[in-house]
């Protein structure tokens, strides 16, 4: 963005945070030109460019509820935990596939559209947030910690923009 702004100083950026579904809807309504999305994402109607960053999945838990010497959490422990999950159906399907359970068999405490919205729920003891590590480390909160799941699961990121239609 710095290089682009240096070359085109009249251009301004507006940063907008939302989940992938909201970002794609805003692009479809011509409110956004570009979005950076966490995979999995349905992107057939967009031009996409992979971003080399990968994020590992885990649970954000209260430090008091999870021993500090534990470095990871197994799938069976995740399934037994009240979860705060993303509201995106495509992500829920992937999570259920990893955990080898139906989404109906997960202990769902709440759904969210942005992980940062769920941090107070975790602090109050409502459940644990299943998310990618960057969602927590970028907005961390005291008394909470990120615990990776094992076997490790990672998601990539893509930059997308609407495909041009030439009519």
Q: Give me the pLDDT at residue 14, please.
A: 81
pLDDT tens readout for residues 79-92:
999 999 998 888 88
Q: Are residues 151 and 125 in the same domain?
A: yes
pLDDT value at position 165? 60
pLDDT at 130: 95
By CB atoms closer than 10 A (0-12, 13-18, 19+), residue 121 is middle
- 167 is a domain residue: no
What's the pLDDT score for residue 51?
92
Q: Are residues 86 and 26 in the same domain?
A: no
| Model pLDDT, residue 115 | 83
Query: 60 and 47 share a domain?
Result: no
Residue 14 belongs to some domain of the structure = yes
Task: Give 32-97 as a DSSP string.
Answer: -S-EEEESS---TTEEEEEEEEEEEEEEEEEGGGS-TT---EEHHHHHTS-EEEES-HHHHHHHHH
* Percent with pLDDT over 90 in the chain: 52
Ranges of the chain whose pLDDT falls below 50: none
> Does one domain contain both 59 and 111?
yes
Claim to verify: residue 36 and residue 7 sit in the same structural domain? yes
Cβ atoms of residues 139 and 116 within 8 Å = yes
In a domain, 19, yes or no: yes
Domain shared by 7 and 87, yes or no: no
Please indicate, yes or no, whether residues 69 and 118 belong to a single structural domain of this protein: yes
Our count of domains for the chain comes to: 2
Indicate whether 70 belongs to any domain: yes
Residue 44 shares a structural domain with residue 85:
no
71 and 121 share a domain? yes
What range does the domain containing 110 cover? 55-155
By DSSP bridging, strand 35-38 and strand 154-162 are antiparallel
Q: List the CATH number of the domain containing 111.
A: 3.40.190.290
């Amino acid at each position: 963005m710095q290089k682009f702004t240096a070359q085109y100083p009249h251009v301004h950026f507006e940063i907008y945070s939302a989940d992938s579904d909201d970002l794609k809807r805003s692009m479809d309504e011509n409110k956004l030109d570009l979005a950076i999305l966490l995979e999995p994402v349905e992107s057939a109607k967009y031009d996409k460019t992979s971003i080399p960053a990968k994020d590992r999945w885990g649970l954000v838990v209260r430090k008091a509820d999870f021993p500090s010497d534990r470095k990871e959490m197994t799938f069976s422990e995740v399934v037994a935990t009240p979860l705060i999950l993303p509201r995106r159906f495509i992500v829920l399907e992937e999570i259920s596939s990893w955990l080898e359970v139906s989404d109906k068999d997960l202990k769902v405490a709440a759904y969210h559209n942005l992980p940062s919205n769920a941090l107070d729920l975790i602090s109050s003891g409502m459940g644990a947030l299943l998310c990618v590590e960057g969602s927590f480390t970028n907005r961390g909160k005291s008394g909470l910690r990120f615990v990776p799941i094992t076997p490790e699961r990672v998601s990539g990121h893509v930059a997308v923009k609407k495909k041009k239609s030439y009519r």
